[in-house]
Amino acid sequence: MTNEPAKTRWLGLLWRVTGRRPKLDHFFTSFLTYRKYLPECDAADAIPRFNENPIVITQCPVGGWSTPMIDVVVLLKAAVGFGSKRILELGSYRGHTARLLAENTGPDTIITAVDIDERHGVAYRGLDIENKIRRKTGRITPGLFSKDERFDFIFVDANHDFASVMNDTEVAFSVLAPQGVILWHDYAHDHFFHGLSRVPEALNEFAKRYPISAIRGTTLGIYSSLPGWETVNLNQKSKIPRAASVWEETKLQG
C-alpha cells in the first residue's frame, strides 16, 4: 500500500482527536490531492459512441450508498457502447444498477449480480427484466464462479476498504473475458480517514500491472482491452496537456 505522507498522518491524528466526524473526514480528505493516482480521460474518449447512444432511466437510485446519477449515466453508456452481453456486478445491494443495466441492454444480455446479503435485488424483483438477471450470494471469491464463467463487462462496487478492493479486483481480472472491460466505483470518494474508502490506493497497486484510467467528472475508474479502445492508449494520450475550456479559463459557473 502507498506510504502516507506526513501531512496525511497529521490530518488523521487531528480527525481522531476531534471526534472522528464524517464532515471533518470529508474536509480533511480534500487536502489529499496526491490520491488522484490514475491518469484521467474523458468519457467520450474511453467509451464507444458515448455521445450517440441513448439510454433510458426509468427510476432514480436514491438513499445512502446509491450510485450518483452521473456515474449511472456513464456506466450505462459504457455497457451499451461496448456491446456487453455478459455483465457482472460485484456488490449489488438493492439492485438499482442491475435493473438499469437490464433495462438498457438487449434481450440476449445477462447480468450476474453478486452480493453478500441474500436479500439483494429488491429493485427488480417481480419485474419482467428479472429473467435477465442471475443472482449470486456470498463473499467475492473465485469459487463463486464456475471454471469457464467469463464476463465482457464488470462493475466493481462492493466493500471499499483496501483489502476488499484488492480482493474484488483480483477476482474481476480472473473472470474477465479477452477484450473485456472493468469499471470501478468510488475511485474519487472523499472520505479517507475512516479507512473504508481506499479504492484509489488499491487501483494504484493494480495500475502497476494494468493500464487503468479515471473518467474525468465521475468517481469511476476504467480498464479496457477492447481493440481500438484500450486504456493503455488513453494513458499515453493523457500525457499530452489538455486545453482548458472557456468555462475553466474564465471560472464561469452556471
Look at residues 220, 185, 202, 191 and name the one whose alpha carbon lies nearest to residue 29: 191
220 has a pLDDT exceeding 90: yes
Strand partners, 215: 41
Q: What is the mean pLDDT of residues 7-11?
A: 93
Q: What is the mean pLDDT of residues 183-209?
A: 91
22: its cell numbers: 464524517
Burial of 21: CB neighbours in 10 Å, binned 0-12, 13-18, 19+: exposed
Q: What is the mean pLDDT of residues 155-172?
A: 96
Report which of residues 170 and 61 the model is more confident about.
Answer: 170
Q: Which band of pLDDT confidence, cut at 50, 70 and 90, is reported for residue 146?
A: very high
Q: How far is CA 198 from CA 24, 87, 134, 192, in A?
A: 17, 24, 29, 7
110 has a pLDDT exceeding 90: yes
How do the domains of the chain map onto residue ranges? 1-35, 37-243
Q: What is the mean pLDDT of residues 60-80?
A: 85
Report which of residues 116 and 235 the model is more confident about.
Answer: 116
3 has a pLDDT exceeding 80: no
pLDDT in the model for residue 59:
81
Q: Which long-range contacts (CB under 8 A, 24 or more apart) does 235-241 make?
A: 235/39, 235/41, 235/211, 237/41, 237/45, 238/39, 238/40, 238/41, 238/213, 239/39
Q: What is the mean pLDDT of residues 136-142?
A: 97
Q: What is the pTM of this model?
A: 0.91
What fold is seen in the domain 37-243? Rossmann fold (3.40.50)
246 has a pLDDT exceeding 80: no
pLDDT in the model for residue 243:
57
Rg (CA), the chain: 18
> Are the C-beta atoms of 229 and 46 separated by less than 8 Å?
yes
Strands 40-41 and 110-115: unpaired
Q: Which long-range contacts (CB under 8 A, 24 or more apart) does 162-170 make?
A: 162/1, 162/195, 162/198, 162/201, 162/202, 165/198, 165/199, 165/202, 165/203, 166/202, 166/205, 166/206, 167/140, 167/141, 168/90, 168/91, 168/140, 169/202, 169/203, 169/206
